[in-house]
Amino acid sequence: MNTDRFRSILLEERERVASAIHHFHESNSHSLEDETEEETYDNHLADSATATLNREIDYTLEENSEHVLSAIDEALLRIETGTFGACVRCGKPINEERLEAIPYATRCIDCQRLEERG
């Protein structure tokens, strides 16, 4: 397992999430109009759609970002302690493709499914 690679992915993601949180706290009063006003190009429609999409992603992020941030911190800690990539529930290695998609995953796909099923 190349934890150095995952460490840099996690640090990048952490940066992104941290600045998103900062952005939420700073720009709660900004309207969507403010963001789209500057778009004066001929692909205006596409840009508006992108802005709307980004806003939708923002809402999801806002709900989850603080949770994700602590999950990233925990994952970084697991890299330091050498337990990164092991499922916290069953102890088996988490599939590397899964870690590519969610580097801060704490459970293998089987345990995640069990969890979601309740």
Considering the complex, state which of residue 7 and residue 89 has its C-beta at the smaller distance from Zn ion: 89
Residue type, 39: E
Minimum distance, C-beta of residue 17 to Zn ion, in the bound complex (Å): 25
Q: Does 105 bind Zn ion (CB under 5 A)?
A: no
Asked if 111 interacts with Zn ion (CB under 5 A), we say yes
Distance between CA atoms of 76 and 70, rounded to whole angstroms? Answer: 10
Kindly state whether residue 108 participates in binding Zn ion, applying the rule CB under 5 A.
yes
Site string for Zn ion, 49-88 (x = CB under 5 A): --------------------------------------x-
Distance CA 6, CA 112 (A): 20
Which helix (H) or strand (E) covers residue 112, if one does? Answer: helix 109-117
Whether residue 115 contacts residue 107, with contact meaning beta carbons closer than 8 Å, is answered with: yes
Residue 76 or 87: which CB sits closer to Zn ion? 87
| Cα separation values, 47 from 52, 67, 96, 118, Å | 9, 29, 35, 41
Q: How far is the CB of 118 from Zn ion (least distance, A)?
A: 16
Positions touching Zn ion (CB under 5 A) are 87, 89-90, 108, 111
